[in-house]
Amino acid sequence: MGKTVAYRNGTLEPGETEVVREFPLKLVVNGRDVATLICSPHDLTYMAAGFLRMQGFVQTMDDFLMLSVCRDFGIANVGIRGEVPDKLRPVLTSGCGAGISFTIRPQAKDSSARRTPRRAHRPSEIFCMMEQLARLAENYKCHGGIHSAAVGDGASILLYAEDLGRHNTLDRIAGEALLKGIDLSGTMLVTSGRVSTELAAKAAMLDISLVASRTSPTDMAVKMCEEAGIVLVGYARGGRFTIYSCPERMDLPASGRRIEEAPEAIMAGNS
């Protein structure tokens, strides 16, 4: 709890409130400083493993020779098979806390690298997943400033993560899935934050089938999801959502399939 002073009706009132915590985690790979991740202070092993997975440093658990996190000193010391590239070109992403990315490698829509066939999704699955995400996001309800994300099958949530950075939430999920041997192919991703290119690219790398958010995607994320064959849904709340890519993979009743024109985004209701 942090001490605060609140302004109410012309007066100042002392109080206490929860404050979002930032934790700088220095990532050392094969003895080389790679990045400092600004994240929430919990489950740092998942955070480090997921970041390295999403940046293409590792693909399986066999790629790790060592993975040690020292919370007291804020250091993740990692040994991996192979060499760290001599010239890393960091990209400042649109993620909270000025996120850093080194590689963005989305899969193409017809890529043979896809591990599972794309299935159709029902509106009820999207609403079910978003409702479960909202119930789990207790930190946001307490003090705001925390993003949340989850993956599941449309009926139940498989993995959940929260962090002050929305891009970090998917890294955490990717890390936990890797360390626990969970295949995320064909799952649905729901998130509380904006969907931008780094989130879309990471979803494609994990072979996720659908991404849904309470808010909006960026234009580049829409293009990336269309190319990767990912259904992209925004503004999923209040019994409505907007489909930005691959609307043909929505399982709607016949009465909901007719589209008068071919708009850039398609509105759907609860069916």
Do 131 and 228 belong together in one domain? yes
Q: What does the pLDDT read at residue 92?
A: 46
Residue numbers of the domain that contains 68: 23-101
Do 63 and 133 belong together in one domain? no
Q: Report DSSP letters for 55-91, one per residue.
A: TTS-SSGGGEEEEEEETTTTEEEEEESS---SS---E
Number of domains in the chain: 2
- 34, 28 contact by CB (below 8 A): yes
- For 66-92, what is each residue's pLDDT tens digit? 999 999 999 999 999 988 877 775 554
Report the share of the chain in percent with pLDDT over 70.
79
Mean pLDDT within 252-266 = 56
Q: What letters, b where the CB count within 10 A reaches 16 and e where it falls short, cover 224-241? A: bbbbbbbbbbbbbeeeeb
Is 201 inside a domain boundary? yes
Q: What does the pLDDT read at residue 244?
A: 96
Average pLDDT of every residue of the chain: 85
Is 10 inside a domain boundary? no
Is 264 inside a domain boundary? yes
Q: What does the pLDDT read at residue 144?
A: 64
- For 8-67, what is each residue's pLDDT tens digit? 888 998 988 778 889 999 999 999 999 899 999 999 999 999 999 998 899 999 999 999
270/48 Cα distance (integer angstroms): 38
